[in-house]
Structure formats: structure tokens, C-alpha cells
């Protein structure tokens, strides 16, 4: 999966599919009870989403183009997440994207007077946590086990097993888990940041 920004052309077929999905989202997905994750997963799968087992899709989560979304087992798109998947978005095993976060795979080329649409995929690694109200930009990879703290803006890659914060988000410490069996070692040295 190329992570470089590239031109994106939206075909008539794409626009029609998005219009039909928007109706399905509005009439069947959004009004469904909060605990009906399987129902919402089924609807997203009908539109091409590749979803693993025990996925949590909350009713207020917005998915722009389900056919560009992949979620591995036990992952979650929380309440009011905006998943602007003009390009591919992959969310790893047990990864969580918390409320009000915005996953944005597209922008416009400001160097061109016509402002053409450009896009690049987003990859969120296994066991990563994108906490509340985080912006993740096009072409970003958030490493396995990484945590991005609330209200951060991510414009570059975040290494595995770190906690990152700020605008732009940068790693500030290693993420370790409480249990010795789960403890993960990596080469991150917070004194180098």
C-alpha cells in the first residue's frame, strides 16, 4: 500500500455508491441501537468493508466509503468518529479509535489552481489507541501498540509502543503494559526527542 499522496479521481460510479451508502447510513446504520454492532458491521460489509470478528462500529461513526475500510478482529470505531476514507484505512487487531477522532485520507493539492483531490492511506497498527478528538492525516502510520493522546494532530508516522501527544504529535515516552507477560521492549529512547 503506497503511502505517498497521489491524485484521486472520483468516478460517477463512486459518487452513486456513496449516495446509496449515505441513505443506508442515515436510515439503517445511524438510528440502530448502540449495542447492534453486528447489524452495522453487516451493513458496512454489504458495501465492501473488510471487517474481522467482534468489531465495534458505533452508530454515530461516519464512514465515507466503506469499501476503503479494513478493520481486523476486536477493533473499534468509537462514537462520532469521522472516517474519511477516500483512500484505504486499515485498523489493526484490537486497535481503538475513540470518540470525535477524524481519520482523513485526502486533501487538495494547494500548488495547483484547480485544487485537485489527492489522497494517501492510513494504517493504524494492532493494539494502538487513537484517543479522543485526534486528527490523523493522509499517509500516516500509527505503529503497533502506540497511543496518541487526546486532541493531538498526527501528520507523520508514530513509532510502535510509544505515547505521542501534541500538534504535531510527537512521541514523548515509551508505552509499557502493567503485566510482565505483556511488557513490550522497543528501541525508543525518550531522551532523544
Query: Does residue 192 fall inside a structural domain?
Result: no
**What is the C-alpha separation between 147 and 114, in angstroms, rounded?**
37
Query: Does residue 127 fall inside a structural domain?
Result: yes
Query: Does residue 34 fall inside a structural domain?
Result: yes
Is residue 60 a contact partner of residue 80, using CB atoms and an 8 Å limit?
A: yes
CATH (domain of 32): 2.160.10.10
Query: Does residue 187 fall inside a structural domain?
Result: no
pTM of the entire structure?
0.89
Query: Does residue 182 fall inside a structural domain?
Result: no
Q: How far is CA 34 from CA 39, 91, 177, in A?
A: 10, 21, 30
Query: Does residue 122 fall inside a structural domain?
Result: yes
Q: For the segment 27-66, what is each residue's pLDDT rounded down to a tens digit?
A: 999 999 999 999 999 999 999 999 999 999 999 999 999 9
Q: For the segment 163-177, what is each residue's pLDDT rounded down to a tens digit?
A: 999 999 999 999 988
Residue with C-alpha cell 503494559? 177
- For residues 55 and 4, the model is more confident at 55
Query: Does residue 39 fall inside a structural domain?
Result: yes
Q: Three cell numbers at 50?
A: 473488510
Once rounded to an integer, what is the mean pLDDT over residues 180-185? 46
Q: For the segment 113-156, what is each residue's pLDDT rounded down to a tens digit?
A: 999 999 999 999 999 999 999 999 999 999 999 999 999 999 99
Q: Which domain holds residue 114?
A: 6-176
What's the number of domains the chain is made of? 1
Amino acid at each position: 500500500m503506497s503511502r505517498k499522496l497521489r491524485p484521486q479521481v472520483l468516478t460517477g460510479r463512486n459518487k452513486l455508491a456513496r449516495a446509496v451508502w449515505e441513505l443506508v447510513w442515515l436510515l439503517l446504520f445511524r438510528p440502530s441501537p448502540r449495542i447492534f454492532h453486528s447489524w452495522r458491521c453487516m451493513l458496512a460489509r454489504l458495501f465492501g468493508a473488510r471487517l474481522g470478528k467482534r468489531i465495534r462500529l458505533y452508530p454515530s461513526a461516519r464512514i465515507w466509503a466503506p469499501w476503503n475500510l479494513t478493520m481486523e478482529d476486536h477493533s473499534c470505531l468509537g462514537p462520532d468518529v469521522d472516517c474519511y476514507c477516500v483512500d484505504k484505512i486499515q485498523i489493526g487487531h484490537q486497535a481503538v479509535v475513540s470518540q470525535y477522532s477524524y481519520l482523513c485520507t485526502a486533501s487538495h493539492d494547494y500548488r495547483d489552481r484547480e485544487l485537485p483531490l489527492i489522497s494517501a492511506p492510513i494504517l493504524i497498527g494492532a493494539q494502538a489507541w487513537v484517543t479522543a478528538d485526534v486528527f490523523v492525516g493522509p499517509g500516516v502510520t500509527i505503529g503497533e501498540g502506540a497511543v496518541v493522546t487526546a486532541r493531538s494532530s498526527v501528520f507523520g508516522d508514530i513509532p510502535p509502543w510509544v505515547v505521542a501527544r501534541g500538534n504535531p504529535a510527537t512521541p514523548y515516552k515509551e508505552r509499557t503494559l502493567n503485566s510482565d507477560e505483556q511488557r513490550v521492549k522497543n528501541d525508543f529512547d525518550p531522551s532523544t526527542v
